[in-house]
Chain A
Amino acid sequence: MAEQPRLVEDHIRKNKRDTVLICMFMVVLLFSVIFAIGLVLNAPPIVTMIIALPVSLFYIFITYSFSVSSVIAAAGARPANPQNREEKLLIYKVEEMSLAAGLPTPKVYVQDSHDINAFATGHKPDDAIICATAGAIQKLNTEQLEGVIGHEMSHIKNRDILVMTVTVGVVGAIALLAEIAIRLLFFGGGSRGNRRDSGGAIILVIAIIFIILAPIFSRLTYLAISRKREYLADADGAYLTRNPEGLAQALEKIKADFPDDPKGSKTVAPLYIANPFKRALRDSIWSTHPPIDERIRRLRSM
């Protein structure tokens, strides 16, 4: 037992460090966009900062506040029924994992879908929800289900819901700012006349291109963060259960099982243990989740 925590710990430490780096990059990106907008609109950076920053923060805050209810509604999830044998087992597993994690027991929900999947949501660890699909509780055995729930509990413990929702908010804010800037630029372009020298024009062009590309960069960064957090939840979950093989087997079953009724909007995808949408995009940089084979490989190397 003494060797395992260290190996898993290394995974955990690496993923946490990567997250911090990527998040810092996101913040830099946001400020760069605001600065570029200032350049392009020929307004002093202070002015654009004062206007854009509160708007961004407000947008992020709103996204975060409504995240829980919108996710539950989008999934069509209902509270688990203790009278049902399988759902009772699910409730037991959530209780056990919360004890292992040292957290209050989250509420347990079920999504009536044949796919094998699960997600976690909630504003704080004290106020969290774990939801599994009917497919998951029927098709997974006890160890595999435990691996999945361990993974979800780790998302709660690591405050991934906060991290991912705020990141989505930042992505949205960048897109919003970029859009406003482009519109202002093309509909109120009088201020451009002030730039006479070619040096200023080049900077202007670069700034405009940057503003156009920024939403794409921020989205790619968000997806990179999402994948890192998934690896982290895999590692932490394996530590909670002391049984990486359980989750590895569950992932194998998920891989073999083709999703046939993904529900809800795509924004809820990152919260799931496996991407319920668009199988084709699953293993690219556009994916919210790391490739399943790689996840299984890492788990089995622990």
Chain B
Amino acid sequence: MDLLLIAVILLIVLIIVIILLVFWGIYNRIIRTENQIDNAWAQIDVQMKRRADLIPNLMETVRGYMKHERGTMESVTNARAAIMSAKTPQETNDASNILTGALKTLFAVAENYPDLKANQNFLQLQDELTHTEDKIAYSRQHYNDSVLVYNNTIETFPGNIFANWMGRKARQMLQVPEASKEVPKVSF
């Protein structure tokens, strides 16, 4: 009888330990996947800052050549400023998409100015800005991937139970720019 009792107690203890380990695992997974989203956002932020830093230089370079394109140039500077006042990731991303569109237009218009296109400084900036846009696009993709993993974790069983208890809700993905649904590919 004693042996049976001991066996049952050990079994119960084992089950409790396993349950605790599972809880530990789920809790950590929720925290980790959430941190992944924040980390992904930080990357987007780095790239957007890089882009913002390049723009004044770009404006200086094109100013002399594109005297009659003030509208186009203003859209870029306005869009750049608008990003500063955005608060949530969604707002910031939307403002960023507007800037992406404004820059695309600027570069398209620049095609009509052969002198500008011969300018080494301009070419370098165009190269770097296009590359930075690509990097923003990939960072955003990673952000959305992270949101997907996180949402899956907190919406499927048993994560959803924990999520409710921890007060976590599903996150929103970032929108891709309207004009181009695919990442702008640079062709050399």
Residues of A within 8 A of B (CB): 5, 85-86, 89, 92, 95-97, 99-102, 141-143, 242
Contact = CB atoms under 8 A, between A and B. Distances in A.
B185 A99 contact: no
Interface string B90-124: 00000000000000000000000000000000000
Interface stretch (B3-11, B61-69, B81-89, B140-148): B140-148
B81 to A, nearest CB: 25
Contact of B43 (A85, A86, A89, A99): A99
Given A102-B39, A102-B40, A102-B146, A97 B188 contact: no
Contacts of B145: 5, 102
Contacts of B185: 142-143
Nearest to A92: B131
A92 B188 CA distance: 12
Given A102-B36, A142-B185, A142-B187, A96 B138 contact: yes
A96 B187 contact: no
A242 B188 contact: no
Shortest beta-carbon contacts, A-B, top 4: A100-B138, A99-B138, A96-B138, A99-B139
Contacts of B139: 99-100
B134 interface: yes
Contacts of A242: 141, 182-183
Contacts of B47: 99
Contacts, number: 41
B80 to A, nearest CB: 21
Interface SS of B by simple majority: helix
Interface in B127-142: 131, 134-135, 138-139, 141-142
A141 B141 contact: no
B186 interface: yes
Nearest to B143: A102
B138 to A, nearest CB: 4
11 contacts: A89-B188, A92-B186, A96-B135, A96-B138, A97-B138, A100-B138, A102-B36, A102-B39, A102-B43, A102-B146, A142-B185
Nearest to B188: A89
B134 A141 contact: no
A101 B131 CA distance: 17
Instruction: Please tell me the size bucket of the interface on B.
Output: 20 to 34
B144 to A, nearest CB: 9
Given A86-B188, A96-B134, A96-B135, 13 more contacts: A5-B148, A96-B138, A97-B138, A99-B43, A99-B135, A99-B139, A99-B142, A100-B139, A101-B142, A102-B40, A102-B43, A102-B145, A142-B185
Contact of A85 (B141, B146, B188): B188
A102 B39 CA distance: 9
Nearest to B144: A1
B46 to A, nearest CB: 9
A143 B148 CA distance: 25
B45 to A, nearest CB: 12
Interface string B138-162: 1101100110100000000000000
Contacts of A102: 36, 39-40, 43, 142, 145-146
B38 to A, nearest CB: 12
B132 to A, nearest CB: 10
Nearest to B39: A102
A141 B145 CA distance: 26
Contacts of A95: 135
Contacts of B188: 85-86, 89, 142
- Scoring B47, B139, B141, B183 by chain A CB atoms within 10 A of each residue's CB, the highest score goes to B141
Contact of B187 (A5, A86, A92, A141): A141
A97 B138 CA distance: 7
Contacts of B183: 242
A142 B188 CA distance: 8
A102 B138 CA distance: 9
B48 to A, nearest CB: 13
Contacts of A143: 185
A141 B187 CA distance: 8
Contact of A100 (B36, B141, B187): B141
Given A5-B148, A142-B185, A143-B185, A92 B142 contact: no
A81 to B, nearest CB: 15
Interface in B169-188: 182-183, 185-188
